[in-house]
């Protein structure tokens, strides 16, 4: 790690190439004066040697156990290993556990870029309990009891809190009584282009219960004349492959190389993205950047990115299989193509350059004037 740099970005861990992970790496690559610190890194997914030469600090070794991931990274960021945080003028904390390292710093220059308050502690607490095995529930209760007060104490020590969407801003206010500004995360809109009007619909969301990919698959099982490609992986992948085993119209291609993913997005009719109260969700923006409308859901961050009947179609909250089928029927090849330019124009609202311009102001601001300078940057 380059201790001569003035700013450090701290994120929980680099396990998969999700939106938060990608944003963390992107910010550090665009600003050479910003170092990166993570709890652990998956070297099979990220090249830890070539990622940020001389500017990447890894606190511990990788673990794939869900509960232990949180406990381990919480410990690592609270431990003496994190005292290096005090060498930086400013630290941008992100994730759920990295903010705990604020205990090693004095006030001034402490920034939280919040993708969401920990969902298993707050808005999805009941959901996690309902979907957990009976023996996991006491462990989940203990994990929440341990982490919740630490996270809330860390929030109180931040000089500036940035939410990645108005939806997350509302969560911070509701659950933590925390004031924040909104700066949307960067989307590499220039990497996505319209290629052709293909004959399939696309889902790129992780195959997890809260992403409702199962609902999408169930809908297409009932629409054998409509093709679906699922380009992702996750804990439900085997279950959904089995569920769709008799449906020749549904294809699972797993996690894709970026070039293949860009091709799938550029050739689909439309993408489907139906998560439960999503924080923000970059996937819909990527789809629109390629001129492809989004079949989304009228809740969470999707409401901030997708405009009903202009850049996509929003199913009602808590959608049913019939709701998804109706939306797909509405989103024909012809109707999708008619929304192409709307989608491309709207996606520019969430471009990388807009994000970089705002973060550059914050990174270069004097630590004692952070909030004063940052307030006018909030997205409206």
Enumerate residues 6+ apart whose C-beta is below 8 A from 90: 6, 7, 8, 109, 110, 111, 363, 367, 370
Counting runs of H as helices and runs of E as strands, what totals does the chain give? 15, 13
Share of the chain above pLDDT 70, in %: 99
Has residue 301 got a pLDDT over 60? yes
C-alpha to C-alpha distance for 343 and 8, rounded to whole angstroms: 35
For residue range 154-180, list pLDDT tens digits in order.
Answer: 999 999 999 999 999 999 999 999 999
Q: Give which of 348, 376, 349, 350 is closest to 362, Cα–Cα.
A: 376
The per-residue pLDDT of the chain, averaged, comes to: 95
For residue range 27-45, list pLDDT tens digits in order.
Answer: 999 999 999 999 999 998 8
Q: Does the predicted TM-score (pTM) go above 0.85?
A: yes
For residue range 229-282, list pLDDT tens digits in order.
Answer: 999 999 999 999 999 999 999 999 999 999 999 999 999 999 999 999 999 989
Task: Give pLDDT, residue 81.
Answer: 74
Has residue 2 got a pLDDT over 70? no
Task: Give pLDDT, residue 379.
Answer: 86
> Buried (b) or exposed (e) across 323-358, using 16+ Cβ within 10 A?
bbbbbbeebeeeebeebbebbbebbeebbbebbbeb
Task: Give pLDDT, residue 237.
Answer: 97
Q: Which two three-digit tokens encode residue 206?
A: 């992780």
Per-residue pLDDT, averaged over 40-64, amounts to 92
Cβ 271 vs Cβ 295: under 8 Å:
yes
Tell me the pLDDT band of 324, cut-offs 50, 70 and 90: very high
C-alpha to C-alpha distance for 115 and 167, rounded to whole angstroms: 10
DSSP designation for 98: G
Share of the chain above pLDDT 90, in %: 90
C-alpha to C-alpha distance for 38 and 1, rounded to whole angstroms: 11
Task: Give pLDDT, residue 3.
Answer: 54
Helix, coil or strand: residue 171? helix
């Amino acid at each position: 790690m380059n201790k001569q740099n003035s700013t450090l970005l701290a994120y929980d861990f680099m396990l998969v190439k999700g939106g938060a992970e990608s944003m963390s790496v992107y910010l550090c690559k665009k600003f050479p004066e910003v170092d990166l610190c993570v709890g652990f890194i998956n070297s099979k997914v990220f090249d830890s040697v070539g990622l940020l030469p001389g500017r990447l600090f890894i606190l511990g070794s990788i673990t794939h156990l869900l509960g232990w991931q949180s406990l381990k990274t919480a410990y690592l960021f609270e431990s003496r290993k994190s005292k290096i945080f005090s060498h930086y003028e400013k630290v941008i904390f992100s994730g759920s556990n990295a903010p705990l390292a604020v205990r090693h710093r004095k006030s001034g220059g402490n920034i939280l870029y919040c993708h969401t308050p920990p969902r298993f502690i707050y808005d999805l607490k009941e959901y996690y309990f309902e979907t957990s095995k009976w023996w996991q529930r006491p462990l989940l209760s203990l994990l929440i009891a341990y982490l919740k007060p630490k996270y809330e104490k860390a929030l109180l020590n931040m000089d500036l809190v940035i939410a990645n969407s108005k939806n997350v801003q509302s969560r911070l206010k509701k659950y933590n009584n925390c004031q924040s500004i909104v700066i949307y995360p960067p989307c590499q809109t220039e990497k996505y282009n319209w290629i052709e009007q293909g004959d399939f619909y696309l889902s790129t969301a992780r195959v997890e219960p809260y992403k409702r990919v199962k609902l999408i698959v169930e809908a297409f099982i009932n629409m054998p004349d409509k093709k679906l490609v699922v380009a992702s992986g996750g804990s439900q992948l085997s279950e959904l492959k089995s569920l769709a085993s008799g449906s020749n119209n549904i294809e699972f291609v797993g996690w894709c190389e970026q070039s293949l993913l860009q091709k799938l997005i550029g050739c689909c009719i439309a993408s489907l993205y139906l998560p439960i109260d999503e924080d923000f969700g970059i996937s819909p923006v990527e789809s629109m950047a390629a001129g492809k409308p989004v079949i989304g859901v009228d809740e969470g961050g999707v409401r901030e990115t997708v405009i009903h009947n202009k850049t996509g179609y929003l199913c009602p909250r808590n959608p049913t299989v019939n709701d998804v089928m109706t939306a797909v029927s509405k989103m024909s090849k012809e109707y999708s193509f008619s929304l192409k330019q709307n989608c491309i124009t709207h996606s520019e609202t969430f471009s990388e350059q807009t994000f970089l311009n705002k973060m550059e102001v914050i990174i270069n601001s004097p630590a004692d004037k952070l909030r004063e300078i940052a307030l006018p940057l909030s997205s409206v």
